Amino acid sequence: MITYIPSHMMITSNNDRSLSVWITSSDDWSDLKLETIESYDSSLDVATNGVWFPSLLDNDPSTLVVGHYSGFVSIWSVDHHHKKLNFIEKIDLRNPNPVNPFNAHAMYGMCILKEKGPDASVICGSDDGYISIVEVHTRKTVSQTVFNPDAQRGINSISVFRNKLLVANCSVGMNDKNLWYFDIDLETSEISYRDSMNLLIDKNRIQSFNFDVEWGEYSSGLCWFAGTEEGVLWMGKANEKLELIGYESLSESSIGAALAFTNRPGRLAAAIHNIDQFSTGSE
């Protein structure tokens, strides 16, 4: 877990019972230093993901939501003046009937669904197959949906653009898929299936991990990127259905890449051991 908190703070996982708080006074982070370690109950286990929400009112603490290997999320207030975190609550988002055979519940996917307001919400994707939506300020779990009732593996990554949701997972067998596309009803929090595809070159593989998926933008508009275990970067579009634009092998084609996208101008980073950077053509 690495989560940026404006301005000049960063939170990372430290071990199975603590988070590290890092600070800097420079815009280029050249004087980054460890400010403090924040502890929590070890039953939550390692922090796997995190997202930050701005405060409801000026001068109030902001909020950090952390996903854990246990399948829980923890809610923290952020004290910007003293550069520290204060634990508020933990929320159990575990699926009692995991889609995987390992009884694993790790919270690998997490995105902001609605950033501001009293109903600000986070959407989470778990290794046990649950897509969960939680209101951050009320700490209310408003929906939980199994992304694929026939899945044999759980969720590795999610990405949200407005009401469009992409889910990356590991496909098992010729009929399974490793990229899923959903609509989210922002009023009811209901999640509806749209389409899916299997991002795979070698059709003889029994399974194919899709490690990460990101919405992005290129010269013709909205697109998505995905990194799979064949060391391949995929690109496509998603309107009524998923549409593949193309793919290429990364410089280290040994395993799936972690992805990050930023706009104005469009830049995509794909990291395995080294980092490949791409210009996507968007302005």
Residue 209 lies in a domain: yes
pLDDT at 254: 73
What is the block-wise mean pLDDT of the chain (283 residues), using blocks of 10 residues?
96 99 96 98 98 93 98 98 96 99 98 97 99 98 98 98 98 96 98 98 93 98 97 97 97 86 96 94 92
Domain assignment present for 220: yes
Total number of domains in the chain: 1
The answer to the question of residue 44 being in a domain is no
Answer whether residue 4 is part of any domain: no
- pLDDT of res. 131: 99
Range of the domain at 200: 147-283
| In a domain? residue 25 | no
Q: Is residue 5 part of a domain?
A: no
- Find out whether 193 and 185 touch, Cβ atoms under 8 Å: no
Cβ burial, residue 228 (10 Å; 0-12/13-18/19+): buried
Q: Is residue 206 part of a domain?
A: yes
Query: What's the CATH code of the domain at 165?
Result: 2.130.10.10
Residue 12 forms part of a structural domain: no
**What is the predicted pLDDT for the residue at 147?**
99
Nearest to 18 by CA among 1, 43, 38, 44: 38
